[in-house]
């Protein structure tokens, strides 16, 4: 534990994520292939929060799930209805839990103001809640002196463990993939399989703007597996095999691959999308997304929990006009929101306020 005082202002960012393959299978013990798609500007500034609540709930431990009694006490304190699943309510609950838990274990977090700004859409399968939880965990741990900057691998593991607690508050039974990606920019350990030298791949992300609950979708898949184990378990096995095959292909590709390397990746996208529909996490808007991109010779699948949210489309390199231009126009005509990016981004990062862009400073009220 570091006893040096934390700086007066902390600006922390964490990335969102795109799951290439393995959605839902990872919750049931299989492999997931995941990559950071872009650097989120989900920033958190720690300055001043009334700490009068810190002694109201005890027995916090990052190795244990939040208890129903603890969460009920925090909901009552914050005036959050028991049935509320609104993103702002869950974010408040996760913050209060982490603040109290970290204070109970490492000493009082000094009075702070928390300002959050994100370019990640909520409820879209891009890891927005995990990016938020990672930022909150990193800032609170730094504010009370539990971690120092730059962060060591051990301190990153600590940040990740507390961010996972925030994800438990928000999602109930998360896989741990999103907060791991937000912390390291990759998935550590044996739970997540990630190519060590991932080639530069261009993707188109599409937000269908259809909200959905990860918790509800995960529970629905679990129910389907319990009801039809002989049918659903082979589907999960196949998704696991797709993740492994995709990893092998990515590891064999050069850093800047040419178009002939893409057919297998595209076929794996198509197969996995069909499997996800079998699991019951598809949606008509995602089917429409796949049809639109297919009409332009592109291949797409949902990313994240499904049921709406976002889809990812693999873009081949080359061509005078960006291959996403016509696709972008047609998807926007459906009412979707699209943006092109590359996979790969660093994990949780501490920023000097003077180095931030003007738009970020304005959003954080620091300009």
The answer to whether residues 181 and 271 belong to one domain is no
Regions of the chain with pLDDT less than 70:
1-8, 25-62, 186-198, 318-323, 344, 354, 363, 367
Residue 60 lies in a domain: yes
Q: 114 φ, ψ to 5°?
A: -115, 125
Residue 4 lies in a domain: no
The residue ranges of DSSP E strands in the chain, in sequence order, are 11-13, 18-21, 33-35, 43-46, 114-117, 202-207, 299-303, 310-315, 337-342, 349-351
CA–CA distance, 98 with 117 (Å, rounded to integer): 19
- What is residue 140's predicted lDDT score, i.e. its pLDDT? 92
The answer to whether residues 237 and 320 belong to one domain is yes
Is cis: bond before 150, omega within 30 of 0?
Answer: yes
The answer to whether residues 120 and 261 belong to one domain is no
Q: What CATH number is associated with residue 185?
A: 3.30.230.10
The answer to whether residues 253 and 209 belong to one domain is yes
Residue 229 lies in a domain: yes
The answer to whether residues 184 and 290 belong to one domain is no
> Which residues, including other chains, have CB under 8 Å from residue 256's CB and lie 6 or more apart?
199, 200, 317
- What is residue 52's predicted lDDT score, i.e. its pLDDT? 43
The answer to whether residues 177 and 324 belong to one domain is no
The gap from C-alpha 141 to its chain's centroid, in whole angstroms, comes to: 20
Report the phi/psi class of residue 340: left, alpha or beta, with left for phi > 0 and alpha for psi in -120 to 50.
beta
The answer to whether residues 75 and 125 belong to one domain is yes
Residue 2 lies in a domain: no
The answer to whether residues 152 and 210 belong to one domain is no
Active-site residue, from 103, 178, 300, 324 = 178
Q: Is 129 a catalytic residue?
A: yes
Report the phi/psi class of residue 48: left, alpha or beta, with left for phi > 0 and alpha for psi in -120 to 50.
beta
CA–CA distance, 313 with 336 (Å, rounded to integer): 13
Q: Are 106 and 48 in contact (CB under 8 A)?
A: no
Q: What CATH number is associated with residue 257?
A: 3.30.70.890
Q: Is 111 a catalytic residue?
A: no
Residue 125 lies in a domain: yes
- What is residue 259's predicted lDDT score, i.e. its pLDDT? 84
Q: Are 133 and 166 in contact (CB under 8 A)?
A: yes
Residue 25 lies in a domain: yes
pTM assigned to the model: 0.76
For 296, the 3-state DSSP assignment is: coil
DSSP class of residue 324?
Answer: T
**The domain containing residue 212 runs over which residues?**
199-342
> Which residues, including other chains, have CB under 8 Å from residue 85's CB and lie 6 or more apart?
213, 215
The answer to whether residues 206 and 172 belong to one domain is no
The answer to whether residues 171 and 244 belong to one domain is no
The answer to whether residues 144 and 184 belong to one domain is yes
Burial class (CB in 10 A: 0-12, 13-18, 19+), 163: buried
The answer to whether residues 290 and 359 belong to one domain is no
Split into its structural domains, the chain has a count of: 2
Active-site residue, from 103, 118, 129, 193 = 129
- What is residue 28's predicted lDDT score, i.e. its pLDDT? 53
End-to-end CA separation in angstroms for the chain: 33
Residue 227 lies in a domain: yes
- What is residue 216's predicted lDDT score, i.e. its pLDDT? 87
Residue 1 lies in a domain: no
Exposure letters 203-212 (e unless 16+ CB within 10 A, then b):
bbbbbbbbeb
Query: Got the DSSP string for 65-101?
Result: PPPHHHHHHHHHHHT--TT---HHHHHHHHHHHHHHH
Query: Got the DSSP string for 210-276?
Result: ----HHHHHHHHHHHHHHSHHHHHHHHHHHHHHHHHHHHHHHHS-SS--GGGHHHHHHHHHHHHHHH
Number of residues that this document lists for the chain: 367
């Amino acid at each position: 534990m570091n006893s040096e005082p934390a700086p007066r202002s902390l600006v922390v960012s964490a990335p969102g994520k795109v799951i290439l393959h393995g959605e839902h299978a990872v919750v049931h013990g299989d492999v997931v292939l995941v990559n950071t798609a872009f650097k989120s500007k989900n920033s958190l500034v720690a300055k001043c929060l009334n700490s009068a609540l810190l002694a109201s709930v005890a027995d916090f431990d990052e190795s244990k799930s939040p208890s129903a009694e603890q969460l009920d006490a925090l909901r009552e304190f914050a005036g959050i209805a028991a049935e509320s699943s609104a993103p702002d309510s869950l974010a408040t609950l996760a913050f209060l839990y982490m603040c109290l838990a970290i204070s109970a274990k490492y000493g009082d977090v000094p009075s702070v103001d928390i300002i959050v700004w994100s370019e990640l859409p909520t409820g879209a399968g891009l890891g927005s809640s995990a990016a938020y939880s990672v930022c909150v965990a990193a800032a609170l741990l730094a504010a009370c002196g539990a971690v120092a900057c730059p962060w060591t691998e051990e301190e990153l593991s600590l940040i990740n463990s507390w961010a996972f607690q925030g994800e438990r508050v928000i999602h109930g039974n998360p896989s741990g993939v999103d907060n791991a990606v937000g912390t390291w920019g990759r998935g550590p350990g044996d739970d997540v399989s990630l190519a060590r030298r991932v080639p530069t791949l261009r993707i188109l992300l599409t937000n269908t703007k259809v909200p959905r609950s990860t918790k509800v979708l995960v529970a629905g898949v679990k129910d389907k597996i319990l009801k039809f184990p002989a049918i659903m378990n082979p589907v999960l096995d196949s998704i696991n095999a797709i993740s492994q095959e995709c990893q092998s292909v990515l590891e064999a590709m050069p850093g800047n691959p040419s178009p002939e390397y893409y057919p297998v990746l595209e076929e794996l996208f198509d197969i996995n999308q069909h499997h996800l529909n079998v699991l019951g996490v598809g949606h008509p808007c995602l089917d429409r997304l796949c049809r639109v991109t297919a009409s332009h010779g592109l291949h797409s699948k949902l990313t994240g929990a499904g049921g709406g949210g976002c889809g990812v489309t693999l873009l081949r390199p080359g061509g005078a006009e960006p291959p996403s231009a016509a696709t972008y126009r047609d998807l926007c005509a459906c009412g979707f929101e699209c943006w092109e990016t590359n996979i790969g981004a660093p994990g949780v990062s501490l920023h000097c306020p003077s180095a931030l862009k003007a738009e970020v400073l304005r959003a954080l009220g620091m300009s």
